[in-house]
Amino acid sequence: MRICVLASGSKGNCTFVEGENTRILIDAGLTKNELETRLSVIGIDPNSIDSILVTHEHNDHIKGLGAFARAHNSKIYAHPDTWSAMEGKIGALELNQRFGIYGKDFYINEIAVSSFDLSHDSKHCLGFSIYDGNKKISSATDLGYITDDIIKHLADSSLVILEANHDITRLMQNPHYPMQLKQRILSKQGHLNNQDTANSVLKMLGYGVRGIIAAHLSEENNSPELVLQALNETVAKNGGNLARELHVDIAKQDQIGNIYRIKS
């Protein structure tokens, strides 16, 4: 199994996942051209993308969705509420490109997909676990808070892409953000802050997670250093050593991430 975060942040999100014989994307939040460019940089023919899983209808997750799917005949999987919310934004699609996610696990060829609900200010928001044989990776971004139930969904993943959106102090002190926007981000339907991410990572260490990619970092209200500091301090406070126990990576907005190969 191979995985690569092609872009992450409020200007566009997309992750490439490859099973034994099937290639999929999670979200298509860059323009079609930018998606094609980033895929070709990592040696992937855009025409080989079988399907796209959609987390929710916000523009940073669906910007190039319709155009990419039409150009490359990809199937799209989304929750019915997400379909109705993005219907007017993504343009016409063939009937055989439209698939609903109804809360049950499903297969895309040999890849098994399990979805779980996230609390966010969209019509619906999903996280995903993706299985190829005995290998599992998970992704959870765009969530206002995290529950033990979500953490159980992430358990036993070799790699978890997990939101670390903002540092609360930096957000509160940001003079460019109106109070209403701050409240939206901080709310239970907003985005996950570094401390909540770090507390979740601490729990995941006990659930067999081997690596995380911190994702959807706010460019103004966060930095890789602040994320790592929160993670290190939280794990150390509980008697652990982050570097020894977990591989940590940070997804970027304007840079293609590392390509991970998950072996059984």
The b/e string for 146-156 (b: 16+ C-beta within 10 A; e otherwise) is: beeebbebbbe
Contact 49, 78 (CB under 8 A): no
Q: How far is the CB of 69 from Zn ion (least distance, A)?
A: 19
* Listed residue (53, 44, 59, 45) closest to 24, CA to CA: 53
Out of 50, 142, 167, 196, point to the residue binding Zn ion (CB under 5 A).
142
Contact 19, 111 (CB under 8 A): yes
Instruction: List, in order, residues 6 or more apart from 124 with CB less than 8 Å away.
Output: 56, 79, 81, 82, 85, 117
Q: How far is the CB of 110 from Zn ion (least distance, A)?
A: 29
* Closer residue to Zn ion, CB minimum distance, 11 or 247: 11
The Cα–Cα gap between 32 and 27 comes to 12
- Contact between 60 and Zn ion by CB under 5 A: the answer reads yes
- Contact between 79 and Zn ion by CB under 5 A: the answer reads no
Contacting Zn ion within 24-43 (CB under 5 A): none
Give the range of 134-142, 176-184, 234-242, 254-262 binding Zn ion by CB under 5 A: 134-142
* Closer residue to Zn ion, CB minimum distance, 34 or 142: 142
The Cα–Cα gap between 75 and 89 comes to 17
Out of 23, 32, 58, 135, point to the residue binding Zn ion (CB under 5 A).
58
Contacting Zn ion within 153-172 (CB under 5 A): none
* Closer residue to Zn ion, CB minimum distance, 10 or 74: 10
Chain residues in the site for Zn ion (CB under 5 A): 58, 60, 142
